[in-house]
Amino acid sequence: MSSAAASRRVAGAGLAVLAAAGGLVACSSSGSGDGSTSGASPAAGGGTYTIWDPYPQYDGSSPWVRLLETCGTQAGVKVERTGYDTGDLTNKALLAAQQGNSPDVLIVDNPVVSTLAEAGVLTTTEDNRLDVSAIAPNLLSAGQSGGKTYGVPIGANTLALYYNKDVLKKAGVDIATVKDWASLTAALEKVKAAGKKGITFSAIATEEGSFQFLPWFWGAGGNLTRLDSPEGVSAVALWSDWLKKGHAPNSVINNTQTTSWQEFASGDYAFAENGTWQLANAGKTGFAYGVIPIPGKDGGTAPAPTGGEFVSVPVQSDAGRYTTSQKLVTCLSSGENSLATTTALSYVAPTEQVQAEQVERNPELKVWVEAVKAAKGRTGDDLGTKYPKISEPMWGAVQAALSGSTSPQEAMTAAQSAAASAIR
């Protein structure tokens, strides 16, 4: 989410999209995305360049849209921007490519990049001489497929554990002692004994459920190509045991990340697994809170999945447009503008230099920068378009185990069988 790619044609019916691969940013709109140009030709400067993004919630007065317009002005062109819902954007990008009418710049959720790349929709960063040398490798990997990079991450969000300081204090829990699964579970036991609620999260049967499960799966040493490994099973067992012992509510089975947050915001819960995007809401809860990285099974920071988008340059029949598109992408992703972009979108920057600036301006972001540094792309490990075919049986297995209809081992064995059949 090329000069060589310019000659590619979009593969057949590439409209089979990632049904729910990501969608963490709810997205509405301004501008038209017809891909047309007006005024002077690109070679002479000027004209209109189209940008599609998954942020329809931002209107023309927002810092994000003003930044796009500023980048257009710096490149000597007019920017025509359209914001789409994440799922709609993938379909529209595939269809536009089939019709030879792609936008000049496309910003998509990172798990979608491999889908569009394999369909021949995107050029590579090498084709367009986009400098990605300063980008953190773990963030860049989400936009790589077949050894090539298909865009630049404009920022990332991820997951961590929010905690209610008052609840933990009354339960006699020192947050500094929470370093692994055993100490976290011990803290939940103390919270329950004190008459409060333990931890809430989202285990819904969608990509949101997989997104929230992955830190525990990876934190146990699990590998997505072997869902039924002892490590993967132990992560399901952890969540299942929490429900059985009353440390987590049964509502997690249907919780989205939003409803899970609402439970935490009630003030009754000690912990909530949620993301960077809730920071503004955390300050409105009315109680003192803190944030720690999700602990790995045996300690350390568990790798959480990266959320966030890649800005890419789609294949164009007119190769003369790429030079200006490259300027637009570079404007959005480099230096000072990277700080403006990540601030506008509430993301952690993809480079260490800008991350340091973010923390200097807002020390509260320090834990999130640490979490992003340990994070992994869902389509990483060269999974690409195989990921959603693994994710769906995985979230189904978690649902089955949490509902008590099957054991964690049986659930993950069935999930592995389904995933293996799907990706053959």
Number of other CB atoms surrounding residue 131 within 10 Å? 12
Rounded to 5 degrees, φ, ψ at 272 are: -145, 130
DSSP SS3 for 403: helix
CA–CA separation, 151 vs 146, rounded Å?
14
Judge residue 4's burial from the number of C-beta atoms within 10 Å of its C-beta, 0-12 exposed, 13-18 middle, 19 or more buried. exposed
pLDDT score of 45: 57
Going across the sheet that includes 159-164, the strands are: 197-200, 269-275, 159-164, 289-292
Half-sphere exposure of 391 (CA within 13 A, CB side): 28
Domain with CATH 3.40.190.10 in the chain: 5-156+308-374, 159-304+383-423
pLDDT score of 81: 97
The architecture that CATH gives domain 159-304+383-423 is 3-Layer(aba) Sandwich (3.40)
What are the 10-residue block averages of pLDDT along the chain, 424 residues in total?
32 32 32 37 68 94 93 96 91 96 96 94 95 93 92 94 98 98 98 98 96 98 97 98 98 96 97 94 96 97 95 96 96 85 87 94 93 93 90 97 97 97 83
Half-sphere exposure of 89 (CA within 13 A, CB side): 33
Task: Please report the DSSP string for 89-116 in residue order.
Answer: HHHHHHHHHHTT---SEEEEETTHHHHH
pLDDT score of 24: 34
CATH of domain 5-156+308-374: 3.40.190.10
